[in-house]
């Protein structure tokens, strides 16, 4: 598993870890049934506190992306975590789109950016 943390990222470290693992799942680099490295290993690899990684793993568990089995570690769950209402799924997208509009991008530039990002996700793990 390959994660990197960005010093200039405003998100807390645990959120960077959570989002990084979600990205690996979306790109099919982590698949259902695969075991995540131990909290201790990830903390050592990234040079962060054990509790930071534990918080990230707990968040992933709460969101349905991993199941934690004592003694077996954290295992990637089905790609379909708890069903969410469409409005809930679109909230982060709306926030991101708002940021892009506020940064001065045109609708056409935003659509092209979204297409490029989606193509990158699909390129890594195959089409879905």
pLDDT above 70 for 124:
no
CA distances from 9 to 12, 15, 22, 36, 91 (A): 8, 10, 17, 24, 21
Kindly state whether residues 55 and 22 are assigned to the same domain.
yes
Tell me, what's the pLDDT at 128?
Answer: 45
pLDDT reported for residue 83: 59
Distance of CA 92 to the CA centre of its chain: 12
**Mean of pLDDT over the chain:** 88
Query: Is the pLDDT at 80 greater than 60, yes or no?
Result: no
Whether residue 22 is found in the same domain as residue 64: yes
Mean pLDDT of the region 15-30: 92
Residues 71 and 95 in one domain: no
> 40-62: per-residue pLDDT in tens?
999 999 999 999 999 999 999 99
Range of the domain at 31: 13-76
Q: Binning pLDDT at 50, 70 and 90, where does residue 90 land?
A: confident
């Amino acid at each position: 598993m390959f994660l990197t943390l960005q010093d200039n990222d405003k998100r807390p470290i645990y959120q960077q870890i959570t989002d990084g693992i979600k990205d690996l799942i979306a790109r099919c680099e982590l698949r259902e049934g695969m075991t995540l490295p131990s909290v201790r290993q990830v903390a050592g690899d990234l040079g962060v506190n054990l509790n930071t990684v534990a918080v990230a793993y707990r968040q992933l568990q709460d969101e349905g992306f991993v199941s934690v089995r004592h003694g077996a570690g954290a295992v990637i769950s089905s790609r379909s975590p708890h069903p969410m209402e469409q409005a809930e799924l679109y909230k982060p997208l709306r926030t991101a789109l708002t940021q892009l509009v506020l940064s001065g991008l045109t609708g056409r530039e935003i659509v092209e950016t979204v297409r490029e990002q989606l193509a990158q996700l699909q390129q890594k793990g195959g089409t879905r």
